[in-house]
Structure 1
Amino acid sequence: MEKVLQEQCDETCEGTSNVITLKQNLIAEHTAAGLADIFKALGDPTRVKIIYTLLQNELCVHDLTVVLDMGQSAVSHQLRYLRNLWIVKRRKVGKTVFYSLDDEHIEQIFVQMLQHMKHG
């Protein structure tokens, strides 16, 4: 492997030992897939609006439909998608289900990305 790397690299490369170490420490496939799923969820404007709204306040499905001006079925579908990825969680009070962000990690990721967008 070292010979192959040397043949393809020039003086600007990091070197074989660093590449081998990086390869050994590469993120696990299931972790990479899970992270990609979260970013894919954030790639949909409707889900971004839901997350942004829940960042500010816990809401029931009905209130989310009013805020987003969408049908209950569509909102419920998106909430189920986000819940399956542990982005949102639900809390049931009687027959009413309230949704909020699952934990502060999701909030931090979202707020950091909002700041990034405002900075650029």
Structure 2
Amino acid sequence: MRLKTFNLSLGAQIFKACADESRLRILSLIVLNGEMCISDLEKILDFTQAKTSRHLIYLKNSGILNSRRYNHWVFYQIKDSVEDIVKQVFQFLKRDQQLMHDQHTYQTLFTNRELAVNKLQIQEWQRATTREKVT
């Protein structure tokens, strides 16, 4: 579902959520990569677990994020209903040095297989190869 109407209340929620640099850094990574796990965000941004959780809860309560649980990881993604407006905000910030550094750190950690996303992909591959060996 895309944003069909934009009212003052929703706008205020979104802009209040974007009024914090840490939340903008989190949102930027989620926008660029589709979804992010809390443990990955902690590593990339060098935040504590408490700080990361607090900001993710704020973003979720403001109606910007959804979450899904997979095994012991929780992944966060932008809600479809606000995706357009959030992406537009980041069009203005795409050349910010800090946000570019965060994305570079993500790519480095992803390449080195240090993120939960890679661990999940490896687990899935191992399960698939184990099933093939059994059959």
Q: TM-score category by the smaller chain?
A: 0.5 to 0.7
The alignment partner of 1:112 has SS state of helix
Structure 2 residue 90 is the aligned partner of structure 1 residue 114? yes
For residue 84 of structure 1, the aligned residue among 39, 61, 68 is 61
Identity, in percent, stands at: 36
* Distance of 1:117 and 1:75 partners within structure 2: 21
Structure 2 residue 39 is the aligned partner of structure 1 residue 52? no
RMSD: 2.1
Deviation of 1:111 after TM superposition, in Å, equals: 3.0
Q: Output the TM-score relative to the length of structure 2.
A: 0.57
Q: Please name the residue that 2:51 is paired with.
A: 74
Change (3 A) 1:87 1:116: same
* Distance of 1:63 and 1:43 partners within structure 2: 22
The alignment partner of 2:19 has SS state of coil
Aligned length: 88
Structure ID, larger Rg: 1
Q: Output the TM-score relative to the length of structure 1.
A: 0.64
Deviation of 1:117 after TM superposition, in Å, equals: 5.2
* Distance of 1:55 and 1:115 partners within structure 2: 11
* Structure 1 alignment gaps of length 5 or more: 1-30
* Structure 2 alignment gaps of length 5 or more: 1-6, 95-135
